Amino acid sequence: MRTVAITRQPVELFKILKFEGMVTTGGEAKLLIADGRVRVNGAVETRKRRKIVAGDVIEFSGESLLVQLA
């Protein structure tokens, strides 16, 4: 599991996928989320603008990210 440090919270889910290089664009992230291919805290998440806070775990494409406040 990889740790992602954020400087403020909350952060929108699609932005984390984009800034961590898991997708190439925000639009691509939004499509993948809408298709139900992303999990947050173990549950499928289809809200593109889901607010992510410290302690959340994002799973996508076989990778897990633990979000922590910097």
Percent of the chain with pLDDT over 70: 100
The pTM assigned to this predicted structure is 0.94
- Residue 27: predicted pLDDT: 96
Range of the domain at 16: 2-69
Q: Tally the domains of the chain.
A: 1
Give the CATH number for residue 40.
3.10.290.10
Mean residue pLDDT of the chain comes to: 96
Give me Rg for the CA atoms of the chain: 11
Q: For residue 69, list its beta bridge partners.
A: 6
- Residue 47: predicted pLDDT: 96
pLDDT band (50, 70, 90) for residue 65: very high
**C-alpha–C-alpha distance, residues 27 and 31, integer Å:** 6
- Residue 36: predicted pLDDT: 97
| Mean pLDDT calculated for residue range 40-48 | 96
